[in-house]
Amino acid sequence: MVHHFLASPFADDGRATQFAAVLAALQADPTDSLLLGNLVLEDDAAPIDALVVRPHGITVLVLVPAGGRLGMPALGYGHWQLGGAPLAGAEGFDNPFEQFVAQKAAVATWLRARFGDDQVNLHFISGVVLFGAPVAYAPDVEPALNEAPALFQLLGEPADLPRRLRQLSTPEIDLSTADLAEWAAEWARFAALAPSEPAPGAAPPRPAGAASQVGEAGPVGGFLSQKARALWNWLGAADVPDEDPAYGAYDAATARREEKQRLEELRRQMQADLSGQLQALEAREAERERSIAQLRAQLAQAPTVAADATALVSRLNAETREKAALEAAMQASRAESAARNRELDAKIQQLSQLLERLNTPATTPAAAPQPVGAAAPTGPATQPSQPAGKQTESYSFHKWQKLAKGYWLQLSRVVRQRPRVAAVVLLLGGVGAWTLSHLGGTPPVPFQENGRWGYADAQGKAVIPARFASAGPFQAGRAVVTRDGAYGFLDEDGKEVVPPAYDALNPYAGGYARARVGDAYTYIDEAGEEFDHYYFNGLDFAEGHAAVLDHRGWYYITGPKAPDKPVLFKEAYSFADGLARVKLADGYTFITPDYLDDPQEGTAPFGRYELASDFADGKARVTQHGRSFLIDKRGEEIDE
C-alpha cells in the first residue's frame, strides 16, 4: 500500500508529472511506502521534491524534469551540465548533489524526534536524482560519482525506482508497516485540517508537518513551538497586527529578486573559477601520476589479497565517502551557525539601542526610530580597507539580513505595544553583550568574497584574504582549504602549514590527518610530515589506532611506524569506547586493544555474527543464526 501526500502544488508542470510517475511506480510495487511531495521543513528553505519512506529505507528524491547528456565536472560544487546547459539544484544549490546533502541533514533533524535510534540510523538516509528523460553519461560522470556516498545514485527511469529503492535498503532502518500507517494517519488528519484554498491575500498554505506560525506543529511534534507560543501569549503579543502603517509591509518579492540576482552572479563566478581549477587539476594530476608510479608498481607485484578483497574495498570505500560527506555537512552547518549567531548578537545590541530611544519621549513624528532591519551589515563589506563597490559580504549573510528585517520590524511594533517584550529583549541584549565581551580567542570563520573563500574575525573583519576555492572551519588551530583542486592545511595566521597538494584531506583526529594521494592513502602528523607508508584504504585515527588496508589485509597502526607482523582481519573499523568491530574468517565480532597485543586472549564475551553494526549509545545490532537483535557492551542480548 502506498500512502501519499502532496504538501502543496508544484510550481512547474515538469516536477508535477515526475511526482505522478513516482507515485505510479510505487503503487505497482508490493512494498508498503509513504510518499511525501513538495515538502518544506523550515522557513525559506528549498522544498524537498519528494521523500519516500519504506520499512528499510528513507530516500530523498531530487526531481530533474529533463534529460540529455550529463556532464559532472565536480560532484559537490559548481554546476553539472545537462544537454549542453548548466544544471543547478534548487534555488541556493549549485547542483543536485549539494541539494541532497543539505536536504538529507534537514530530514535527519526533522525525524530525530520521531524515531528512536533502534528504529532508524539517520546516517543511512539515501538520495536519488531522478531525471525526467533518458540520460547519457559523459566520461567525467563516473570519476565524480566515485567520490559520492554509496547511498547517493542517479536514475533516468521512474519505473525502475522500486528496484533501486530495494538496492538502497538497509537493516539500519527498521520500520514496520504499522509505523508507516500510523504516520500516514497523522498526515491525513493534518491534511483534513488544512483549508482547500487560501483566503484572498493570505500566504500560501504550508505543508502539513511544518510549523506555520508560533506554536503550530506538524506530525513530528512541537514541544519547542508550544513553549514559544506560550511565551508569545505571556508577552501579550498574540494580537499585534502583522502590519503597521508606521512601517509598512515587508516586500518579500523584491527581496527574492535581489537574492536571485546575487545568486546568479555567484554562479557565474563559480563557473569561471571551476574552469581554471580543472585546467590546473589536469596538469597537477599528470605530475602526481609520475610521482606515485613506483608505488603502483610495488602494489602490482605484491601478493593478491583474499578472494573477496575487491568487494571489501568497494564497500569500505563507500562507507568512507559517506563519512566524508557527513563531516562536510556538519562543518558547513557549524560555520553557518557561528556566522548567524554573531549577526544575531549584533541585531540584539542594535535593538537595545532602539529601546533606549523609545523610552525617550518623542516631541515630533520625526523622532520615530529607524527600523532595526535598515542598519548597515557588519562584516568584511563595512571595512574601509576594501575598494569601493567591491562585493565582500557572503550570500548567506545577505539572505539572513533580508529575512531578519521582517522579524525585527514586527518585533519593534510589539515592543511599542507590549511593555513586557521590552523587558525581555533588554535582558537578552545585556546577556548577548556580556557573552560577546567574555568570549575572546574565537578562531576566524569562513566568509565568501567574489566566489572565493577567506576568514574573518568575530567582528566580521577579514583577517585572511579570500583566495581559496573552499574553506573549512578551524579545529585545533588548523583548517582544511582547497586551491587549484588540491587540499591543504591553514593555520589561524593564514600560513599554509601543509600546502595544498593532496586529492583529499580530513581534519586532524587523534593527532593525525588522513590524506589521499591518487588511489593511495596516508597520514600527516601535526608537524606536517607525511607517513612513509601508503595504503589501499584507511580510516581516521580514533583512541590511538587507525584501521588500514594493504596487500595483506586490514590491520591497525598506532603512528607513523607500521607493525612488521600485524594482526590481520578481513574487515576492521574504528575503535569507540574501547571496542572495535572486525570481521574474522568465521564472522563479525568485537575486540579491545588488548587483542592486538595477544590474539590468543580471544574475543569473549562476544560471539560470531553474520552481520554487526558499530556500538552507539552502548548498543549494537547483530545478526546471529538468522536472527537480528541488540547486544550491550558485555555481549548480552538486551530488549529492543
Residue 248 zone, left/alpha/beta (φ > 0; ψ -120 to 50; rest): left
Is residue 282's pLDDT more than 80? no
Q: Are strands 68-71 and 135-137 parallel, antiparallel or unpaired?
A: parallel
Q: Which residues pair with 276 in a beta bridge?
A: none
Q: Which helix (H) or strand (E) holds 471?
A: strand 470-471
Cell numbers representing residue 308 in the block: 573477496
Q: What is the pLDDT of residues 546-602, one digit of tens each?
A: 999 998 999 999 999 988 899 999 999 999 989 999 999 999 999 999 999 999 888
491 contacts 312 by C-beta, under 8 angstroms: no
Angle at 407 between CA 402 and CA 409, to 5 degrees: 95
Under 8 Å between Cβ of 129 and 18: no
Residues 6 or more apart whose CB falls under 8 angstroms from that of 543 comprise: 510, 574, 575, 576, 578, 593
For residue 464, the 8-state DSSP code is E
549-575 core/surface letters (b: 16 or more CB in 10 A; e: else):
bbeebbbbbeeeeeeeebbebbbbbbb
Long-range pairs for 263-268 at CB < 8 Å and ≥24 separation?
A: 263/91, 263/92, 263/395, 265/391, 266/395, 266/448, 266/451, 267/79, 267/86, 267/88, 267/94
The distance of Cα 304 from the centroid of its chain, to the nearest Å, equals 38
Mean pLDDT of 132-157: 86
Q: In whole numbers, what is the pLDDT of the chain averaged over residues?
A: 74
**What single letter denotes the amino acid at residue 315?**
R
Q: What is the pLDDT of residues 217-268, one digit of tens each?
A: 344 333 344 444 444 444 444 444 444 444 344 455 555 556 556 666 665 6
- Does residue 435 register a pLDDT over 50? no
What pLDDT was estimated at residue 336?
59
Across 77-158, the runs of DSSP E, i.e. the strands, are: 80-82, 85-87, 126-131, 135-137, 152-155
Prediction pTM value: 0.39
User: Is pLDDT of 190 > 70?
Assistant: no
Beta strands 580-584; 80-82: pairing state: unpaired
Q: Where are the domains of the chain?
A: 2-193, 234-361+369-561, 575-640
Helical (H) or strand (E) element with 462: strand 462-468
What burial letters (b/e) apply to 499-512, b meaning 16+ CB within 10 Å? Answer: ebbbbbbbbbbbeb
* Contact (Cβ atoms closer than 8 angstroms) between residue 166 and residue 140: no
Hey, what's the cell of 130?
Answer: 531522478
Compute how many other C-beta atoms are within 10 angstroms of the C-beta atom of residue 39. Answer: 25
Note the pLDDT tens digit of each residue in 21-76: 999 999 998 889 999 999 888 777 889 999 999 999 999 999 999 989 999 888 87
- For 392, half-sphere exposure in the C-beta direction (CA atoms, 13 angstrom radius) is 22
Query: What are 572's strand-pairing partners?
Result: 582
- State residue 90's pLDDT score: 83
